[in-house]
Amino acid sequence: MRYIYNRLRAVQYAENWWNNYNPAFHKFEVDCTNFISQCLHAGGIPMKHTGQRNSGWWYSGDNWSYSWTVANALHLYLEQGGYIKTEPKKTPQELTAGDIICYDFDGDGHWQHSTIVVAKDKDGMPLVNAHTTNSQYRYWNYTDSTAYTPDIQYKFFHIL
């Protein structure tokens, strides 16, 4: 399936819903990836509905794929770069608005958090919006997070 990713629409969605919850979607206690998936979808990426939680990238009423709602599953889905076309970046400075950052707080290979880049600071570093601990224009590296450890790992995904 082909799509055109509209970064502006993805960021507008992130700005509109960063501190609230779209009633069209279930609100999860850990809602970061559900929020990021909504942003990507608002940016024009159509769902890939398989009806099976462990495949595709989709949301349908009271059912959804793991890649839509679980940080580790979305990370794997973006890393594969199949349906949602991505280009991995080595540094946060290479990201633009609408791109995604995944976080492995303890560096064990299991990804626990997802954010969307909404702006850059004066030094060209990403500022992100997120759910779970709802955040707007938060500095990308999350050193201020209670989940932060010195072993943190990041993955930077430019959405194509």
Residue 25: give its domain's CATH number.
Answer: 3.90.1720.10
In a domain, 2, yes or no: no
Give the Cα separation of 18 and 155 in Å (integer). 21
Note down the domain range covering 110: 7-159
pLDDT at 13: 99
In a domain, 34, yes or no: yes
In a domain, 147, yes or no: yes
In a domain, 100, yes or no: yes
pLDDT at 2: 85
In a domain, 115, yes or no: yes
pLDDT at 85: 95
Q: Which residues of the chain have pLDDT under 50?
A: none
pLDDT at 81: 83
